[in-house]
Structure 1
Amino acid sequence: MKISELLAAAQPLQEQLSAWRRDFHRHPEIGYEEIRTSGIVAAHLASLGLEVTTNVGRTGVVGVLRGETPGPTIGLRADMDALPIQDQKTVSYASEVPDTAHLCGHDAHTAILMGAAQLLAGLGRPKKGNIKFVFQPAEEGLAGAREMIKDGVLDNPKVDVMAGLHMFPGLDTGTLGVSKGVAFASADSLTIKILGKGGHAARPHEGVDAIAVAAQVISALQNIPSRMVDPLEPVVITIGKISGGYMGAALAPEVELTGTVRTLSAGVRAQMPAMIEQVVAGVCSSFGAGYELSYGEGYPIVLNDPGMVDLMTETSEELLGEKVWNYIKPSTGGEDFAFYCEKVPGVFFRLGSGNGEERTRYPLHHPKFDLDETALPYGVAMLSAMALNFLNRN
């Protein structure tokens, strides 16, 4: 089948893709708890005659379509986990699990890769090389990609390149966005305990008000991106949670600040722990407070390989007969697809899922996030076409 015919071949899957996606949406599972989801995925891959391995990276599933002769292997990845957020949509497929919902499109990613496996398996074995379908758990902060790599997802057969996509409401359905080079930021965690001295709120001079010191620390941290780092190097430091104090009439003896640090440069990322400690130590010393600082390295930067970006853009034009892609700015969001890109050349691109309706305009992670399901066949066709083009060119 010609690459230009793959979208037409994917369109008849629309009803099935929507059914899969809605089923996953009604029954969301958070990271490393994707038992039901992985079971459905594994059964589908087995029905297609693929080699199936389960429990990869704890709850991940891998399917392999082997070619007639040895050759390179391309991995196609979808993430399966939901978010610990209450679904606020009033739709027939709204989440049935309290405080858990697919508000980042992972249900769609899973359905798309199931569709790609069905389409490619239906075309028969590639003449040479292999296609590996990677259904990954725990992308949302729990590093499922890293766990799958530890379990050998890039081996047997050895994966040479990886490709993945993400639904994006900021782009119209049928259009694509990709970043050449850095695509997503590193995402690290930050916890700061401000250690003060309790006392009566009416006599603050007798204690050390940890809340007042915490307020100064939060403000001072913003001087790092604005005054201590090259202004051409994006840095985001956000404190998202503050815990401390007992009552309005007492000084808080301790306050805990929890946040995140995002950068688009590995070099800048390496400087962050020391810079943050310098600022926190200085502020706390000024007010007679102590501190405890914990800095946790999370996801690395997603670095798209130039050759894989070219494969994606050229394939899209061959598939759709026109240029529907654009280079887009990197995101300061984090993505554990980064771990694959550290091991093999990869590309992670965005698939438009907005159709102008209000329901498709909500951003990722919003309690009312939804998407235009007519985007699903485009995802199936793109991943399938990229896999075939890679094998044909190598």
Structure 2
Amino acid sequence: MARVGGGSVKGAMEEQIGPASRWLQEARALQTRLVEWRRHLHRIPELAFQERETSAYLAAQLQEMGLSPRRVGEAGGTGLLCDIAGADAGSGSGPTVLLRAEMDGLPVEERTGLPFASVHPGLMHACGHDGHMAMLLGAAALLTVHRRELPGRVRLLFQPAEEMRGGAREMIAAGVLAGVDVAFAQHLWPGLPVGTVAFKRGVAMAAMDRVHIRVIGRAGHGAAPHLATDAVVAQAHVVLALQSLISRRVNPATPAVLTLGTVHGGKQENVIAEEVDLTGTVRTVDPACRQSLPKMIEEAVASAAAGVGARAETTWEWGYPPLVNDEQALNALARAISGGRGMSGIEVRWLDTPAFASEDFAFYLERVPGVFAFLGAGKDAAAVLHSPTFNVDEAVLPVGAATLVVAAFELLVLARERRVGQTAGVGLPASNIPLESACLGRRVGSEGR
């Protein structure tokens, strides 16, 4: 640990910042506002890159706090960026931490029966993004009051289009990571009790890529299948072949999940279909496995289709990379939450396996070190992510707001230590995250694959 004047940077900062339970107590005092924010946002879900009403509401709340949010993204973009500078951050020499929350909803018809249910037909906040935004607003309120205590700058990012659209890429292209030393985000996680913050070392969430398959036969009359090539039958062989591929050609010690989510084909019941389209996702945690699957899938699909006289075209779309937590930042944050100066009553849990859901926060962590946390949202059996009955225990809101504040302070201290250490030649690592894949010798992000 770098030392200045006989004492550590971290020790001096801890004395200034105080125990983490302070932030939980102050966040709980904001419970009424947190619930109000969350419920208002829950009523107005909007799809990716269409979050205009959401963006306007968030901007108004931040402006009421005396902050100056600005829109980011292409012309008319819905993303919001807002900096809160500490007393010594004006010179630009201090570190910066990014805190992110997602804004978009899902095309799900809500069936919760809540009095604050979605007013937008066919749309719902079924992944907790309403809660994420409310918690980041709560953190903004606390950080604004205590901004002079900040050992650097906190950058708040309300990001559009996390669901399947990779809005993080547009935010990065717009420059949101300029000057950022470290990043943090969290996700409400059903099945974990409120009061739990869970972490996973290394790969925390799987990569997610997309596959589109077109099976092509020859149309004909339903009464004369021998004169046609039935694309529906061919696609059935393709589906079965792909399931066997995962179970028989992928090392069982290297998890992978292939899900075909849509099948579309045929125009009339007495006409043998000429084409059937299938789309799906492929999730992996190992870079080498991820790189090998496109060719394996293409070969399996072509062989299965050819076996019944059809042919197939396979298109692969690289999606989200695996989300990898920085070890040093992860340890520092876990200690800050659960240690002797941590948040009283909050439990840190360590997950043994990565989540196979995917997150575009991974794009930020390809470029800067950071941490992604799983926030216990309650054990309600109906609270399944992306379900039309999804809901969370609102007691989690102050826990999440406080966790964001703790992350801001702790990661700023860590970033300052790294800067001091590098200046002094101590050699503290900038990150443990490999921007270049050790397996493949090149970047494992979305570009150039």
TM-score normalised to structure 1 length: 0.95
Q: CA deviation at 1:183?
A: 1.0
Give secondary structure in 1 for the equivalent of 2:33: helix
Partner of 1:334: 358
Partner of 2:6: none
Q: CA deviation at 1:369?
A: 0.1
Partner of 2:69: 52
Give secondary structure in 2 for the equivalent of 1:75: strand
User: Are 1:262 and 2:294 counterparts?
Assistant: no
Give secondary structure in 1 for the equivalent of 2:291: helix
Deviations along 1:124-156, one digit per CA (max 9) or x if unpaired, are: 32453111111100000111111000000011x
* Contact 2:85-2:147 at 8 Å conserved across structures: no
Q: CA deviation at 1:323?
A: 6.4
Q: 1:248 aligns with which of 243, 263, 269?
A: 269
Q: Percent identity?
A: 41
Deviations along 1:287-313, one digit per CA (max 9) or x if unpaired, are: 221212111111111111111211221
Partner of 1:194: 215
Partner of 2:236: 215
After alignment, is 307-316 or 275-284 more displaced?
307-316
Kindly tell me: are residues 377 and 323 of structure 1, through their superposed partners in 2, closer, same or farther at Cα, counting changes over 3 Å? Answer: closer
Q: In structure 1, what residue type is equivalent to 2:108?
A: I
Q: Which runs of 5+ in 2 are unaligned?
A: 1-16, 417-449
Deviations along 1:2-37, one digit per CA (max 9) or x if unpaired, are: 222111111011111111110011111111111111
Partner of 1:68: 87
User: Are 1:344 and 2:368 counterparts?
Assistant: yes
Deviations along 1:19-62, one digit per CA (max 9) or x if unpaired, are: 11100111111111111111122222233333422133621101
Partner of 2:185: 164
- Distance in 2 of aligned mates of 1:126 and 1:54: 27
Partner of 2:428: none
List structure 1 runs of 4+ shifted beyond 4 angstroms: none
Give secondary structure in 2 for the equivalent of 1:121: helix
Deviations along 1:246-291, one digit per CA (max 9) or x if unpaired, are: 2333211111111111111122111111011110111122222121
- Distance in 2 of aligned mates of 1:285 and 1:391: 58
Superposition RMSD in Å: 1.5
Partner of 1:149: 172
Partner of 1:128: 151
Q: CA deviation at 1:199?
A: 1.5
Q: CA deviation at 1:335?
A: 0.6
Give secondary structure in 1 for the equivalent of 2:376: strand
Q: 2:405 aligns with which of 370, 377, 384?
A: 384
Q: In structure 1, what residue type is equivalent to 2:82?
A: G
Q: In structure 1, what residue type is equivalent to 2:222?
A: A
- Distance in 1 of aligned mates of 2:409 and 2:224: 73
Give secondary structure in 1 for the equivalent of 2:124: coil
> Which residues of 2 match residues 103-114 of structure 1 at below 5 A?
103-114=126-137
Q: In structure 2, what residue type is equivalent to 1:9?
A: E
Give secondary structure in 2 for the equivalent of 1:294: strand
Q: CA deviation at 1:82?
A: 0.4
* Contact 1:76-1:164 at 8 Å conserved across structures: yes
User: Are 1:33 and 2:72 counterparts?
Assistant: no
Partner of 1:308: 329
Partner of 2:204: 183
Kindly tell me: are residues 351 and 275 of structure 1, through their superposed partners in 2, closer, same or farther at Cα, counting changes over 3 Å? Answer: same
Partner of 1:13: 30
Deviations along 1:196-220, one digit per CA (max 9) or x if unpaired, are: 0112233222211101110000000
Deviations along 1:93-151, one digit per CA (max 9) or x if unpaired, are: 10010110000000000000000010011113245311111110000011111100000
Deviations along 1:155-213, one digit per CA (max 9) or x if unpaired, are: 1xx11110000001110001121111111111111111100011223322221110111
- Distance in 2 of aligned mates of 1:342 and 1:53: 25
- Distance in 2 of aligned mates of 1:17 and 1:275: 48
User: Are 1:97 and 2:120 counterparts?
Assistant: yes
Partner of 2:295: 274
After alignment, is 372-381 or 258-267 more displaced?
258-267
The structure richer in strand per residue is 1
Deviations along 1:65-99, one digit per CA (max 9) or x if unpaired, are: 11222311111000011001111111101001011
User: Are 1:24 and 2:38 counterparts?
Assistant: no
Q: In structure 2, what residue type is equivalent to 1:12?
A: A
User: Are 1:174 and 2:174 counterparts?
Assistant: no
Give secondary structure in 2 for the equivalent of 1:390: helix
Give secondary structure in 2 for the equivalent of 1:343: coil
Q: CA deviation at 1:322?
A: 5.9
> Which residues of 2 match residues 359-374 of structure 1 at below 5 A?
361-374=382-395
Task: Give the total of aligned pairs.
Answer: 389
Kindly tell me: are residues 229 and 130 of structure 1, through their superposed partners in 2, closer, same or farther at Cα, counting changes over 3 Å? Answer: same
Q: Which runs of 5+ in 1 are unaligned?
A: none
Q: CA deviation at 1:320?
A: 1.9
After alignment, is 286-295 or 368-377 more displaced?
286-295
Partner of 1:227: 248
- Distance in 2 of aligned mates of 1:6 and 1:105: 22
Q: In structure 1, what residue type is equivalent to 2:316?
A: Y
